[in-house]
Amino acid sequence: MLTTASFISDFWQDQLVEHDRQWLFLVLLGILLSFGFIRMSTRLMRSPKVPWWPGSIVSDGGLHVHHLVFGIVLMMIAGTLSFAGFATGVVYDLCAFAFGIGIGLTIDEFALWVYLDDVYWKEEGRSSVDAAVLAVAALGLVLLGIRPFEFEDGDAAAVIASVTTIAFNFAMAIICLLKQRLWHGAIGLMVTPLALYGAIRLGKPGSPWAKRRYGDRNPAKQERAERRFRPDRRTERLKRAVRDGLGGAPQEEYEAKIQRR
């Protein structure tokens, strides 16, 4: 009879160790656990239903210490131990797990990197949830064996084909990002058909691509883009629901819900 312990052991040996993916798995596990915990913690901190939950660390001078600081320090320690060769065996596994925890704590405040302001519970703060989901998705694809930047061994023709494929993939992904199709661009770096699909599709009306190629130059496409990507469309409502479910609603929406209740 297959027990849980034997299943985990078989999975670890056959699916991870056998393919040298155990460290990437530990990094991914660290990201998921730390991001999930810190999001749960911050949501409980602002909830009036759990006043007993410990709050943020604040110094005597009122300086808020963001948890990305702890994530950066943790990544520095784990990375230094690994690169210096001090971590071997189980210690190396622990360093991989600690590095993942550091990524999770740091990427949870991704919006702070971009806006250089504490927008955690504002509309701009939703980008942290997007960044975390994209990071987990990308690591998951690599864990499944996708190698987008791997060169083929062989003659010059094989090398040229590899370089051409990688360059094409990058070009399509950049076009996706210019069109503000972030998912297509980020995941498309590893899945070429997805990048190609996003590159040939319509760009969002406020994207750099639209500002350059739509607008007065092509009013019909600008109108199509505004109609396609209207704020109340079903896809946008679904995205907002997922972001709220994973990261919590922005402060104004949250306070409005509390008042209605």
| Residue 230 within any structural domain of the chain | no
User: If pLDDT is split at 50, 70 and 90, which confidence band does 49 have?
Assistant: confident
User: What pLDDT, on a 0 to 100 scale, did the predictor assign at position 58?
Assistant: 45
pLDDT tens digits along 154-200 = 667 777 877 888 889 899 999 999 999 988 998 888 888 999 999 99
| Residue 169 within any structural domain of the chain | no
How deeply is 85 buried, as exposed, middle or buried, from its count of CB atoms within 10 A (0-12, 13-18, 19+)? exposed
| Residue 122 within any structural domain of the chain | yes
pLDDT tens digits along 106-153 = 999 999 998 888 899 998 999 999 999 999 998 988 888 777 666 666
The answer to whether 83 and 96 are in contact (CB under 8 A) is no
User: If pLDDT is split at 50, 70 and 90, which confidence band does 59 have?
Assistant: very low
| Residue 96 within any structural domain of the chain | yes
56 phi and psi, to 5 degrees?
-70, 160
| Residue 171 within any structural domain of the chain | no
| Residue 191 within any structural domain of the chain | no
Structural domains in the chain (count): 1
Which DSSP string corresponds to 8-34? HHHIIIIIIGGGT-HHHHHHHHHHHHH
| Residue 66 within any structural domain of the chain | yes
User: Distance between CA atoms of 110 and 127, rounded to whole angstroms?
Assistant: 7
User: What pLDDT, on a 0 to 100 scale, did the predictor assign at position 65?
Assistant: 81
Which DSSP string corresponds to 117-153? S--TTSGGGHHHHHHHHHHHHHHHHHHTT--TTPPPP
Q: Is the pTM of this model over 0.75?
A: yes
Task: Say which residue the tokens 């703060």 belong to.
Answer: 125
Asked whether the predicted pLDDT for residue 4 surpasses 80, the reply is no
User: Distance between CA atoms of 36 and 48, rounded to whole angstroms?
Assistant: 20
| Residue 256 within any structural domain of the chain | no
Q: 55 in helix, strand or coil? A: coil
Average pLDDT, the chain: 86
Range of the domain at 91: 7-146
